[in-house]
Amino acid sequence: MAGGASAIAPARREAVPEVDVSAMTIVRPRRWGRIAAVAIMLALIAWLTKAFAEGKIAWEVTGEYLFWPSILMGVVNTIWMSIACMIIGIVIGVAVAVMRGSPNPVLRSVAIGYQWFFRGTPVILQLLIWFNLALVFPRLGIPGLFEARTVDVITPAMATLLGLGLNQGAYTSEVMRAGLLSVDRGQYEAAQAIGMSYWASLKRIILPQAMRVVIPPLGNEFIGLVKMTSLASIIGFADVLRTSQDIYYVNARVIELLMVAAAWYLVVVTILSLGQARLERRFGRGFASGVRDR
């Protein structure tokens, strides 16, 4: 570094030393922060491993129940319920997001009212309301067409589907709305200019572009939903947590079976994250992203 006075003076050509970067060794900067972080994390992992290894966990019991038939059934139930609720959530979410952007004040109010109710109450409360629907409507159906006792229709699975699906729709609609808002107005106009109807331009032009923006938060929502299905265990839906509990009520291997459930949730969420990365590439075609995403 030059001294104070010479830094102000105009640089003279002969003052520049001969340097050829190709002929020299490059010293990589030491990343002390990273090294420290890795050391701390390794220590934490070692400590946790030790605690769980020496703690009162019979790992062989965990292993034994990992592929237990009723546990596997629970995993299957957790998966299909998550997918079904997410489909309901996306369908409702797109509809409500479009309704909120509609010039029709009736549609807009319905959409806002729906979001207000389902985001305004705890999901566990909504599950209990659906499960106890028979207290308000003893019978369900369309008079003359079909009719049934509510308790026969609203099974734990049905109550979960309605409760989580409708709740998910309220949250997904805001994610979708963000996606729709992210698409430039010129895209709507270009679609209209080639004679597309509003619905065709939504389907072909706007939504595919919105999807690109929407997938990371939707992945978030989906992963949250997988774990939210565990709430349905309180109304008797046989998901993986409920089946684990049913077993430990009998054999008292509480922590071992909770580890079984934890392992399965991690497996499902890992697979979902991989799927999300694929979808992002699929919908990212034609876009140069400003940030590195891998």
Partner 1 sequence: MTRMETAMEPEATLAPGLPIVSGRRVGKLFGDFRALTEVSIDVEEGEVVCIIGPSGSGKTTFLRCLNQLERIDEGALWLDGELLGWRLESDRLHPLPEAEIARQRRKTGMVFQRFNLFPHMTALQNITEGPVQVLREPRGQAEDRGRRLLSRVGLAEKASSYPKDLSGGQQQRVAIARALAMNPKVMLFDEPTSALDPELVGEVLSVMKDLARAGMTMVVVTHELGFAREVADRVVFMDQGRVVETGPAQQLMDDPQEERTRNFIRSVLGRE
Judged by the rule CB under 8 A, the positions of this chain that interact with partner 1 are 184, 186-187, 189-198, 200, 204-205, 208-209, 212, 283, 285-288
Nearer to partner 1, 116 or 198 (CB): 198
Listing DSSP states for 100-136 in one string gives HT-S-HHHHHHHHHHHHHHHHS-HHHHHHHHHTGGGT
- Which is it for strands 139-142 and 146-149: parallel, antiparallel or unpaired? antiparallel
Query: What is the nearest approach in angstroms of partner 1 to the Cβ of residue 199?
Result: 9
CB of 194 to partner 1, least distance (A): 4
What residue has token string 């991989």? 274
In order of 138, 225, 277, the CA distances from 1 in angstroms are 86, 58, 47
Own/partner pairs, 239-244, CB within 8 angstroms, 24+ separation: 239/74, 239/77, 239/78, 239/81, 240/71, 240/74, 240/75, 240/77, 240/78, 240/264, 240/265, 241/74, 241/78, 242/74, 243/70, 243/71, 243/73, 243/74, 244/65, 244/71, 244/74
CB of 282 to partner 1, least distance (A): 10
Q: How far is the CB of 120 from partner 1 (least distance, A)?
A: 35
- What distance in Å separates the CA atoms of residue 267 and residue 58, rounded to the nearest whole number? 21
Decide whether 162 or 205 has the Cβ nearer to partner 1: 205
Nearer to partner 1, 196 or 234 (CB): 196
Residue (217 or 284) nearer to partner 1, CB:
284
Nearer to partner 1 among residue 69 and residue 195 (C-beta): 195
Query: Minimum Å distance from CB 204 to partner 1?
Result: 6
Nearer of residues 94 and 206 to partner 1, judged by Cβ: 206
For residue 97, the minimal CB distance to partner 1 (Å) is 19
**Separation CA 161–CA 85 (nearest Å):** 6
Provide the minimum distance between the beta carbon of 242 and partner 1 in the complex, in angstroms, as a whole number. Answer: 42
Tell me the DSSP string of 64-105.
Answer: HHHT-HHHHHHHHHHHHHHHHHHHHHHHHHHHHHHHHT-S-H
Pick between residue 146 and residue 199 the one whose CB is nearest to partner 1.
199
